[in-house]
Every structure is written in structure tokens, then in C-alpha cells.
Amino acid sequence: MEQAMLWGVGTSAYGRFPDRRVESLAWTAVAEAVRDAGIEPGEIDAIIVGSVFGPPGVATRVQRGLGIPAVPMWTVENACASGTSAYHEAVEAVRLGRFGCVLVLGVDQMSTLFSGAIVPEATDPEGASSLPLPGLYALQAQRYVGEFGVTPDQLAAVAVKNKRNGSDNPRAQLRDAVPTVQEVLDSRMIAEPLTFLQCCPTSDGAGAAIVGGDRGNPNDLRIESSVLVSGALWDHRSEEVWGYASVARAAEKAFAEAGRTSQEIDVLEVHDAFTIGEIITLEALGLAPRGKGAELAPSGYTTRDGVQPVNPSGGLLSRGHPLGATGMAQLAEISWQLRGRAGARQVARHRVGLVETMGGGAAGMDGNACVITILSTQS
């Protein structure tokens, strides 16, 4: 089986760009990824696109604009994990020898569709009861407050940490003055106990990556593992809060495939659409026992100069969350960190990195999908 490597990455800026064509966001990201990989477009054997709300045919329009006709191309939709699901398919295709060089693209333009929270699917019970994702995450938070004594200050500390990181990210959507814990708590209530500054913004953007085999290039990153799991049945009788189990299942497989433990990871980019999401994810990844994940940010453990920095990009809370592009933005950040090219955001220890993207929304499931990948330098 071929060793899959990450050759290059690229992204657009993230923000609200309703006047831009969605293809132009994609072209910006792809052009950077191709340059970063040091290849010519004609070397690409296949294109896999992750998108949730992209217009029909968005992948074909992107392909036309890139001038790479006739190569196999398809689109993946897996909620917020669409981009990394496309990446996972590329990794598997290279491992199995189907293709030698695959372009992965994640792209979505949300500003033309939603002014606030994504409207839930009306045929699901959550949609019928007007329970969008902020409400679902709020229920997670309320359970953690009741069961483990998680405090509002602990929840707010995640937002402060990630917004401080995002202030140094020139591509992030939100780069305002870093709020205090009290300012986070005083912001408008969205779904108790989650306030406005604890929720990710609606965003536009694109991210791209070039995945190929081992070509002996010391700048390429080794893909130690890539795991995709789908959600399992879940309801109010489940022992864990919504979303925990899918991340835990993916983490167990990813660490086993890489032959590593969670404590060997130097830097992480995880799905923090809401502050409670980062807390629960870090527990599922094994960075803290159940009920203790809320202590990581306030203690400094996950800050940029902490033991295991989490979301040095600013995460979804600062960078933004253009669904299909989010996982690819996370992958780009980890690539820059591992190569020592993250500028003011650079963390000290950066040999092994992890990306986790969890997509959710379908009723009765503990998430649509979760993708976890572990990468490392060759030094």
C-alpha cells in the first residue's frame, strides 16, 4: 500500500463575500495549494470536492476554470465534515494506487443563503420543533453544567483563547479586539448558556490540498492516519451527549492506525463551532477525562504556548465556518504549523498534528460524520 503524503495546501480568506462567485474563492485556494506543492495543474489525476451548499455543478465550474479537463472529479457532502471527507477519500485513493496526485477542494458560500443560524431540515424532529444547531449545542452545555459543574467562565475561556489566536490570523473572519471572559458572557444570549461570542459566524471561503504518494520531498507531510466514521443511533437515553461517541470512535481508530496516543500530539485543530464543542471533542480525543475538558483552556493547557495548543488558527469561532471548507482550513493550519510557517501563531512543538472535523444535523444520529487525520513531519 502506498504511503500517502500531503504535498501542499492553500486557502482563500474567510469572511462574508456575497458579491464574489463561489468559484473564485475555490480558484484562490487551489492556486495556492498547487504552488505550495510545486506541481503543474496537468499533474493532477483526480479532483474531489467537499461542499454542503455549493450550487449544483460547482465542482465542474471550478474544474473548467482551472483548465484541468477530463480527469475524474466528484463531489462529497457530509455536513461540516464534507471537506475532510473529500480529503479522506483522496488519501485512500492514493494509498490504494488509484491515483498518484489528487486535488482536494472544500468550498461553501454561506452569506448568500443565511443571515444567521442554518435553517434545520423541516422533516427532522429538530427542524419541526425549530431546534437549530445552536440549540443542540446549548443542550450539550446545559448537561455539562448540570452533571459536571462546568461554569460559564470555563465556557467563555474557550472563546477568549480562540479569539486571541484568531487576532493573529490574517485570513480569519473575526479579528476584533480580544474579549475578556466577562465580555464574552455579556454578549447577546443565543441559546442558554451559549452567548453570541461563543458561536461561530456564518462564512464564505475555500480550502485546498494536494495529496500524493511519497516523492522524497522533505517538505511533504506524512499522513499517519485518516479515519472517517459515520454517526450511530442516538437519543436521550444515550450515556454520552450528542456528538461525543462519533468523535471517540474516530479517535480510537486514528490513534491505532498512527500507532500513537493523544499525548503525543503537539498541536490540534478541532471543530469548535461552539465553545462546548471544543470541550467535548478534547475529552473524546483523550486530552482530558469526561467532565474535565472545561478545565483545559482556563488552565492554559491548550493555549498557544501551552502543553498541547488547540486551534491556533482561531478555530471556527474566529476563522469562520464555511461548512465544506472548514476541514480544509484546519488541514492548512496544521500544515503551516508543522512546517514552522504559521508566523505569529506558530507553536513551539510542531512535529505531530491532528485535525478533527465533526459534521452533524441528522435527527436520531450522534453526528453525520467525523473525520480525524494525524500528520507528521519527516524530520
Active site residue ranges: 80, 321
Q: Across-strand partners of 73?
A: 47
Q: How far is residue 170 from each of residues 114, 126, 319, 332, measured CA to CA in Å?
A: 24, 36, 9, 14
Query: What single-letter DSSP state applies at residue 41?
Result: G
Asked whether the CA dihedral 303, 306, 309, 312 is positive or negative, the reply is positive
Q: How far apart are CA 342 and CA 265, in angstroms?
A: 17
3-class DSSP state of 328: helix
User: How far is 292 from 68, CA to CA, in rounded Å?
Assistant: 49
Maximal C-alpha separation, the chain:
57
CB count, 10 Å around CB of 356?
29
Percent helix, percent strand, percent coil in the chain, to nearest 5: 40, 20, 40
Total count of residues recorded for the chain: 379
- Strand pairing category for 204-212 and 101-109: antiparallel
Contact (Cβ atoms closer than 8 angstroms) between residue 106 and residue 324: yes
CA distances from 31 to 107, 273, 334 (A): 14, 27, 19
Instruction: Read off the DSSP letter of residue 262.
Output: G
Q: Which residues pair with 274 in a beta bridge?
A: 199
Rg, C-alpha atoms of the chain = 19
- Write the CA distances from 147 to 33, 154, 243, integer angstroms: 45, 15, 17
- Unique residue bearing C-alpha cell 461554569: 151
To which H or E segment does residue 132 belong?
none
- d(C-alpha 214, C-alpha 171), whole Å: 30
Which distant-in-sequence residues (6+ apart) come within 8 Å of 151 by Cβ?
145, 294
